[in-house]
Every structure is written in structure tokens, then in C-alpha cells.
Amino acid sequence: MSETRAEIRLPTQDLRADLPFYTKVLKMRLDTIYPADNPEVAVLSGHGLRLRIQKGAPEAPGMLRILTDDPDGFADGVRSLTAPNGTLVEIDELNPPLVMPATEHAFVVRRLADQAPWVIGRAGMHYRDLVPSRLGGAIIASHIRIPDGGPVPDMVHFHKVGFQLIFCIKGWVDVVYEDQGPPIHLNAGDCFIQPPEIRHRVLHASDGIEVIEIGVPADHVTEIDHEMTLPTAHVRPDREWQGQRFVHNVGAEGAWHPHRLIGFEARDTTINEGTKGVAGVLVVRPVGTAPHWTKHQGDILFTFVMSGEMTLEGEGKDPYRLSPGDAFVIPPGMATRYSAPSDDLELLEVALPGSFQTNLI
């Protein structure tokens, strides 16, 4: 069986000056050096990297990033270094803590009729941004579609995220999750909560499937897991990831209860319970009572129009007549009213935290 290796080449003018830096400071191993009488090439390996330092090589010195679980102890606490050959070196956290930015509150209305561009993202899926400002990095809300169904070219992966929702609004998709048994069939009206770092893989989708994906914070890392095979051998429905449980909510099985807004009722998806109050997700529809003006005291309140129409009124704002595909964010303390709802109106409401106060005006 043949063997293949890859190297990154870096230039040097004085190999003898470079070797102590790479071997002692960066803790790399010297594998090859030649010629013996006047060395011009040294090959070193370490930290998953193989370097070829070569006298007179034409490349720029470049930059190395070394990720470690002890960045303050790796190079005597120095985080930025310059090698004798000019290569810049950054020492950083192997697993940096998740940063949750403070929410930059704003009133946001995003309409499908505005023809915001669809962009091709991971695994060939089409993404439409529903909150362009991302509220200062606090949230990303995406309308995602897969035009042509069938097998999805996905890999086992996970997200370093604080909260993530997948709500199916059209079609169906099959996804397999770590410790949750065989693939799960998600239909329109159903949703998943993907706890932080749960491994999963999208398998198959129907033609024209559409989902709403919410991620907190907006900037979060997706990593591929090359070692795990799904489904896993064990089924552990009660397992928690950073305090959150996996939730698969089937819309057809939900019960309707009075909503926080007069004139509406809601179907709870059990996500408030599953995330221990991190977030709440409701499906909301009118019940025929005249709507009232209200103010909420939550942090983030995002709503997507799944069907029907309504008029969104906000203090100091022109009214918006909203229809399917439109989305909006209401900041805390702003007076709003959902007026003139059609009988078939159905809203997806996502709130962080999951429980918050709403006041009648």
C-alpha cells in the first residue's frame, strides 16, 4: 500500500537559527535535515503539521496557528511570536469559550417580496437571511430550502452553539442524531432542538423542502466529526448536552392553549422545557378576539409567517401587511399589535429566554 505525505514549505536564510525556535519553543520534532556538512533543508513535524524549512525558498514566511488547551503555558505565556525566518506564530485556545454577544435590539421586518438573495451554503442548501443585522451577532435566522430532493451530501457534524432550532415548514427531511436511535423523519410542522455539539447528519429530503433554522449566537463554528458513525449503538433520550436535551416535537400531536397575546392561541413545542428556559418556540394562530397593543420584556422575539396574513403595527412605524415567508423581530419595550389576521394565519414564534413578561397597553 502506497504512503503519501504533505508538507508546507517555509523559507529561511539561516536554518541553524530556526531549528531551536521550532524544536524548543514550538515543541516540534526534527525528522529530516540535509546536507550534513551545511544543512539547507529541515523537515519537522508536530501538532498535526509537517513543515519543510528550506534555505532560499521563494514563498513568503506565512503564519502558523497552534491551538492548545494550555495556551498560557505553551510558550511561556506568549501568544504571538515571530520565528527567526519571519514566520508569524499565534498560540490560541484549542476549544475557545462560546461568546454570547449582547443583543443590539432593533425592530426588523424582512419580507419575502423584497427578493433577498438566496445563497448556496453548506451541503448545497440554499439560505435566505431573515435578520440581516443579526442583532449585533446575537442571533442568525435562516430560511433554508433544498430545491431537488433525494440524498443530501452531508457529513456527521456538530455546531458549537448556545441554541439551535430546526423547524420544518414544507416537505420532509430525514436526520440521524447521536444517541437518539435510527433516522428521524421530520415533517412540515415538526421541529428539532439540536443541543450544543450533538452529532448529526442530514440524510434525505423531499423536493422543495423548506426549514427555518435559528442559531444563537450568529457566529458559531460547525465541525466535521470524522470518527463517529451514526446511528450510535446506544439510545439515550434523556442525555443532556450542556444542560439541554434533544427535542423532536411532532406538530400534529400538540395541544393548543391561550397565548400571551389576547386574540391568539399557541401550540407549545416543549422546547422551553427541553432547554431549561434558554428558549421557547410556539406555533401561534388567531382565535377571533380583537388583538390588543402589548409590550414584551424578553430579550429576543423573532416571528416567521408560515401561512395567512396579518398587519404588524408598531409605535412610530408604518403598518406592515405581512404574508407567508415574511419575518420580523420586535425589541423589548416596543408597543406592537397584530391586527386584521386572516383565519388561516399561522406564526412561528421563537423567544429567548423561553419565559418572559408581556404587558397590555
- What are the average pLDDT values for consecutive 10-residue runs of the chain, which has 361 residues? 91 95 97 94 96 96 96 94 97 91 96 82 81 96 90 93 97 97 97 96 94 95 95 96 96 94 96 96 93 96 98 96 97 97 98 96 88
- Homologous superfamily (CATH) of 253-360 is Jelly Rolls (2.60.120.10)
pLDDT value, residue 289: 84
115-249 CATH fold: Jelly Rolls (2.60.120)
Give the separation between CA 164 and CA 144, rounded to whole angstroms.
14
pLDDT value, residue 272: 96
Q: Give the model confidence (pLDDT) of 229-245 as tens digits.
A: 999 999 999 999 999 99
pLDDT value, residue 122: 66
Residue-range domain boundaries for the chain:
8-92, 115-249, 253-360
Secondary structure of the chain in the HEC alphabet?
A: CCCCCCCEEEEECCHHHHHHHHHHHCCCEEEEEECCCCCCEEEEEECCEEEEEEECCCCCCCEEEEEECCHHHHCCCCCEEECCCCCEEEEEECCCCCCCCCCCCCCEEECHHHCCCCEECHHHCEEEECCCCHHHHCCEEEEEEECCCEECCCCCEEEECCEEEEEEEECEEEEEECCCCCCEEEECCCEEECCCCCCEEEEEECCCEEEEEEEECCCCEEEECCCCCCCCCCCCCCCEECCEECEEECHHHCCEEECCCCCEEEEECCHHHHCCCCCEEEEEEECCCCCCCEEECCCEEEEEEEECCEEEEECCCCCEEECCCCEEECCCCCCEEEECCCCCCEEEEEEECCCCCEEEC
Q: Give the model confidence (pLDDT) of 39-55 as tens digits.
A: 999 999 999 999 999 99
Q: What is the pTM of this model?
A: 0.88
Q: Quick one: CATH architecture of 8-92?
A: Roll (3.10)
pLDDT value, residue 68: 96
pLDDT value, residue 187: 97
- Asked if the domains 8-92 and 115-249 are classified in one and the same CATH topology, the answer is no
pLDDT value, residue 149: 85
